[in-house]
Amino acid sequence: MTRVVLSAAAFSADAELSRFARGRTAATGALASFVGYCRATSDHGAVEEIVLDHYPGFTEKEIERLSRAVAERRELIDLLVIHRIGAVPAGEPIVLVAALSSHRAAAFAAVSEMMDYLKTDAPFWKREQGPDGARWIDPTAADYARREEHAK
């Protein structure tokens, strides 16, 4: 089971995680989760907001495909991915990934993998808006390296 949401509005990571956790079964031993926030500074300076472009239809489909692959490979009970699109002011959550599993190793691996895929394989184009204007952000070499780890 997987659920993928692209949200143009702010979402409450707490409330979403709380709802997701209530879906656990008697076999659920582990909930791993990750929330990524828009930081107020980057390697390039002050950040007022991040703007995430996406490809309507295609982006959802690709993330759903990646999610299903991770959920199957890790035999998850449930997987949730929520990702902002559009402008995200500094301090707000950009992404939430959460996995319910029988055992902790699978839950950790699933969330970590899913985040790495989102960084390199999800159809998003991100730019930082700061006082000096906007800058496109590319995945880093470290992002690609982590993705390759999972592909092994």
Partner 1 sequence: MTRILFFGRLRDAAGASEMACELPASLRTVADVRAWIGARDPELGAALGAPGVRIAVDQVFATDDAPASGAAEIAFMSPLSGG
Q: Which residues bind partner 1 (CB under 8 A)?
A: 36, 52-53, 55, 57-58, 61, 83, 94-95, 115, 118-126, 136-139
- Rounded to a whole number of angstroms, the minimum distance from the CB of residue 62 to partner 1 is 8
Reading the block at residue 138, the tokens are 């590319």
Residue 77 DSSP code: S
Question: Which one of a second copy, partner 1, none is in contact with 112 (Cβ closer than 5 to 8 A by kind)?
Answer: a second copy
- Rounded to a whole number of angstroms, the minimum distance from the CB of residue 31 to a second copy is 4
- For a second copy, give the closer residue by CB, 29 or 86: 29
Helix H or strand E segment including 148: helix 141-151
CB atoms within 10 A of CB 3: 15
Residue 22 DSSP code: T
Q: Give the Cα separation of 147 and 145 in Å (integer).
A: 5
- Left, alpha or beta for 72 (phi > 0: left; psi -120 to 50: alpha)? alpha
* Binding segment (CB under 8 A) for a second copy, from list 58-66, 79-87, 99-107, 123-131: 99-107
Binding residues (CB under 8 A) for a second copy: these are 13-14, 17-18, 21, 24, 26-41, 90-91, 102, 104-105, 107-108, 111-112, 115, 142, 146
